[in-house]
Structure 1
Amino acid sequence: MSDLNPTPLDLTLDGGALTARLVDFPSVSGDEQALADAVEAALRGYPHLTVDRHGNNVVARTNLGRAERVVLAGHLDTVPIADNLPSYVDGDRLYGCGTSDMKSGVAVALRLAASLTEPNRDLTYVFYDCEEVEAHRNGLGHLVKDHPDWLAADFAVLMEPTGAMVEGGCQGTLRAQIRLTGVRAHAARSWLGDNAIHHAAEVLTRLETYEARRVEIDGLEYHEGLNAVRIDGGVAGNVIPDECVITINFRYAPDRSEAEAEKHVREVFDGFELTVTDFAAGALPGLAQPAARTFLEATGGRARAKFGWTDVARFSALGVPAVNYGPGEPDLAHKRDEWCSLSAIAETEERLRGWLAG
């Protein structure tokens, strides 16, 4: 294995080479300090930027008095390394942990931060920690809570892997448990009991016959989904169970509020004991905003709905329309053989540069 000791970041490297340098900075969630230090040090070398830091979250801004402000954001952490460091190149592919998710996007943002001294919009660059772990550790969430003024903007681009295609907004997600009860008894005398697991049949039937809503927002079609993701029940091989718990997950379009999503789920399972255990609000794509329209034009004019939840929802909660756009391939995220196309890195940077410098 090559030397992975941290060295200063050179933001004048081309996008692929800078991505490789970032990948060779191991930064598994919770261990981002060395990379955050390097990012901060590199950005402080550019006088056109104001640089702030909160924990292992680094924020750099231009202050040119432009009519609009745009945020480019990316997380510094990766999932655990899977014998996929150091990085290496094979043809147009750069392999290594975090190449797609999302150090290629971070590299593009860092190069733009260093080189766009007179952008046509004021820019805020956000590099944050702990995206790949529990939500309460998320660095962007800490910035939202402690320094929301640092994130004020008219539009935001989260440089998550999208295959260099705009993915608008994100779905919300709700998890809940449905608890079914019965009466415990010996399995040899089952008629003396009431099997809680058997009561799951009605819940599963409702799920099986559920018709998921499709809704168009800003020209993007979001497809909802309501599914059982876990069933827990049973006591022993000779006992009629008196409890069964079904965990369900509702992925809902961003035109629903959290309250509306919960109301819908409770209506579907009317008559059952249901407890909501987890919520994450969705984010509207905001493609009707002027900055979003020009961004879409500059990046090829194509967009699709984001199926899943991302940190664009944190910007949406601040009233900042946001999209996902990055060079990485979402299907390669977290894989042992994770890679990113070098040409996609160059293309993403070129399109963003044309939008912000044109």
Structure 2
Amino acid sequence: MTFVSDSKAPGIAIVGATGAVGQTLVELIGTRGLRHRGVRLAASARSAGRRIEVDGRTRTVEDLEGFDFSGTDIAFFSAGTSVSQKYARPAAAQGALVIDNTNAFRMDPDTPLVVPQVNADVLTGRPASGIIANPNCSTIPLVRLLRTVEQRWGIRQVVVSTYQAASGQGEHGIAELREGAELVLHEPGAELPADRFGKPLAFNVVPFIDRLLETGFTMEEQKMLQESRKILGLPHLDVTTTCVRVPVVNSHSEAVWVEATEPVDRAELVARLAELPEVTVHDRDTLGAYPTPLTAGEPDHVHVGRVRVAPHNPRGFWLWLVADNLRIGAALNAVQIAETVLDRGLL
């Protein structure tokens, strides 16, 4: 982390600092060299008092209740939707630019929903709400690929099946998966924990994430539709999704079917995807090569493989993608938003 005495460098606060995304934020701010004049950490009363090393210094986590944001320039919120709903607007009112990693403000018309590689152009000044929303962990890698497709061939429809890791439910989700797996291996037939995922996740798949809507879709599935439309600026984009939780510790995967408006050439598609920043196309040189959550490699890249144009429909093609949901799907995108804000002098 790049601590400086320059008064023009931002003061930073991380809300939810003890959670999986908060810890990743602490790490990324350091490894990416984000200049700052101080970092404060906040969390619930239960976590207040914990000591975390930041920039070589040990800092004490403060209780979010009563936390003073008046000296904070950028506040990262990663403590859950209800926490953001209660505290984000007051933090913005105290002068902090809030970068929120929850669903609380994503569809608020006064709050930009940003993936810097896709729509950084919407960041032209301080938002009316004082908040910039970070999209859903599965939406971010998807729209980073769809933008170039839409620009070259147009898009008629996108059909997505997600395979989402336990870390999407934070440290508690990871712990529940590990506890369940341990029980299955040592006590076959034992009752498995199911607090975080509705059903036991160990050695199982759960085709249900977030709450059920009247349409029969889940909120997680609706997020991918409405967020993709807002980020890409395509209010009528047809995206339909099935979101599935799988017994993987970290990194989400997606099987994506895209029907374009014009015929797609596979070689050109692969070349265009490979030219995107921080994207690795695994079958660029070896047909059929693919990433997996365990073997993808560089955690700050979107990994793509199994690129296939359908022989019966030259406008349609499949992609398989893998992305670290704690980094690309949350903390890294938030830090890149902050970097964009600072580069443009928008504080």
Shared topology, TM-score over 0.5? Answer: no
TM score, norm. by length of structure 1 = 0.27
TM score, norm. by length of structure 2 = 0.27
